[in-house]
Amino acid sequence: MYRVFEALDELVTIVEEARGVPMTSSCVVPRGDVLELLDDVRDALPQEVDDAQDVLDKRDELIDKARAESDAMVNGARAEADTTLTEATEEAQRMLEDARARAEQIMADAHAEAERMIAAGQAEYQNLVERSRAESERMIEAGRAGYERAIEDGRHEQARLVSQTEVVQAAHAESARIVDEAHAEADRQRADCDAYVDGKLAEFSELLSTTLRTVDSGRNHLRTPPGMSSRTPLYDFQP
């Protein structure tokens, strides 16, 4: 191909430097030199054309080979992507099942703990009610006994004073005072009993509130979306 371009350049030079024919645009060129250069071009062209055809054939072969390799790579990448997608789907399903199993276990544990705490609270409440009832009855009985003793003492004192005519009025007054004090003592003991029972019931109310807060905390923990980390303790029971 280089010889063809060289011969063509020489032909152009010969034509440009040729002597012109007067009164025309023609020129006089050396026939032998031109024919020799044309022979060189004619001899060189078939070889150059064959070389170019070889290059084109090799280009097509390389293109076909590259296309085949590209198709193989695409198919391999597609197969690998399908495999990866299948594995990822299976792994996601397994993780979902594990999370569901853990959530169900946590729910079961929370229900069991809540039932245990409620049962313990009910037992404590029943025990507290029984103790309060026993204490109330004891205090009422003590107040009744004190009241009766005070009444009896007042009656004895009244009878003793009545027997003394000079102090009858004073005896009546003292008797009335003793009776009033007995009534006041009975009222005080009854008020103390009511305050004691009210205090015990307030303690049990606080225990139930703590139990409900613990159950709510467990439920909030169960409602935490998967993938998120929660540091809130499941139970916060403080008796």
The half-sphere exposure of 142 on its side-chain side, counting CA atoms within 13 A, is 12
Where does the pLDDT of residue 42 fall: very low under 50, low under 70, confident under 90, or very high at 90 and above?
Answer: confident
Question: Taking 70 as the threshold, does the pLDDT of residue 107 lie above it?
Answer: yes
Quick one: pLDDT at residue 211?
A: 87
Distance CA 210, CA 110 (A): 15
Q: Is 128 a residue whose pLDDT tops 80?
A: no
What value does the mean pLDDT take over residues 153-167? 68
Higher pLDDT, 56 or 211: 211
- Per-residue pLDDT for 238 more than 70? no
Asked which of 37-46, 84-93, 160-169, 172-181 is least confident by mean pLDDT, the reply is 160-169
Q: Is 172 left (phi over 0), alpha (psi -120 to 50) or beta?
A: alpha
What percent of the chain shows pLDDT beyond 90?
A: 0
Task: Give the list of residues 6+ apart from residue 30 with CB closer than 8 angstroms, or none.
Answer: 14
For residues 223 and 203, which has the higher predicted lDDT (pLDDT)?
203
227: left (phi over 0), alpha (psi -120 to 50) or beta: left
Q: How confident is the model at residue 7 (pLDDT cuts 50, 70, 90)?
A: confident
Q: Which residue has the higher pLDDT, 161 or 200?
A: 200
Contacts of 48 (CB under 8 A, 6+ apart): 1, 4
What pLDDT is recorded for position 36? 86
Whether the per-residue pLDDT at 33 is higher than 60: the answer is yes
CB 24, CB 43: distance < 8 Å: no
Residue 195 has pLDDT above 60, yes or no: yes
pLDDT attached to residue 8: 80
Strand partners, 27: 20
* pLDDT over 60 (residue 235): no
